[in-house]
Each structure stands twice: as C-alpha cells, then as structure tokens.
Amino acid sequence: MPKFYVVGFKKLKIRTALAFESVRKNTHEGMHVAAGELALRMDSDSPKVPIDTRAMRNSWYIKGKELKTRLDVEAGYTVEYAPVVHENVTAKQWTEPGSGPKWLQIHFNNSLMKMETTIREHAQIKG
C-alpha cells in the first residue's frame, strides 16, 4: 500500500503554533491597552475620577499575567478608601467638577464594545 505525505506539514505546524502564540501575546497587550483607555475616559468624561489630593487617582494600576490556560489583566486603585468613594451615591458636592460616584462602573459598562474592539484589533495575526 502506498504511503502519502503532506509536504510542508511540519513547517505548517510550526508556523501555526507561532501564530497562536503571537495572537495570545497581542491579545494580552490589547487587554492592557483597553484598560489604559478606560483610565483616560475616567479622567476626561463625566463622571470623572474624584480628585482631592490625587492620591486615589495616582494609585490606579494595571497589571496582568499570562497563565497557561488564560490571560489575566487587572486594573483598579490601591488606596483602601477607593471603594467607599466610588459607592458614595449620597454625596452632594465633589471636589472635582464633573466627578461623581460609580465613575469606574459607568465608564466600564459604557466602554465594553470599544474595549472589545481594541482587544480584537490587537489580537489579529500580524505579518
């Protein structure tokens, strides 16, 4: 019985593995970029991040891990009082004009499609 071989299959397999790794890295980069764009919206669009001493705003962080089974990106504030300020829906006056409660939640919800687009654009195979 004759044997059949696919010429170039080994090369295709290597190139496919490299492409998948590229997509993975690009996706992770896109997740970081999307979190950075979210921070920019919170600084420019109402409701803005409340600013008194800038300590809370300056505590914003973005960090991520590439795990074997998933990509993680986390963003938030390191100051312990950030959740209290974020949830303060009873405050009548904020120190920063245009700022207010739930700024992170509102901008996250309003930006979901834009963040997905950013991640998708980064995830594409380049080259």
Which domain covers residue 88, as residue numbers? Answer: 9-123
- Maximum pairwise Cα distance, the chain: 85
Is 2 contained in some domain?
A: no
What is the distance between the alpha carbons of residues 125 and 18, in angstroms, rounded to a whole number? 10
Judge whether 14 lies within some domain. yes
Look at residue 56 and tell me if it is in a domain.
yes
Whether omega before 101 lies within 30 degrees of 0, making that bond cis, reads no
User: What is the average pLDDT across 18-44?
Assistant: 93
Pair of tokens at residue 41: 């919206």
What is the chain's length?
127
Band the pLDDT of 127: cuts 50, 70, 90: low
Q: What is the mean pLDDT of residues 93-122?
A: 93
Q: How far apart are CA 88 and CA 33, in angstroms?
A: 28
**Encoded amino acid at 98, one letter:** G
Q: Mean per-residue pLDDT for 111-119?
A: 96
Residue 81 lies in a domain: yes
As for how many domains the chain has, the answer is 1
**Residue-level pLDDT at 48:** 93
Q: Is the pLDDT of residue 67 over 70?
A: yes
DSSP designation for 95: S
Decide if 76 is inside a domain. yes
Q: What mean pLDDT value characterizes the chain?
A: 91
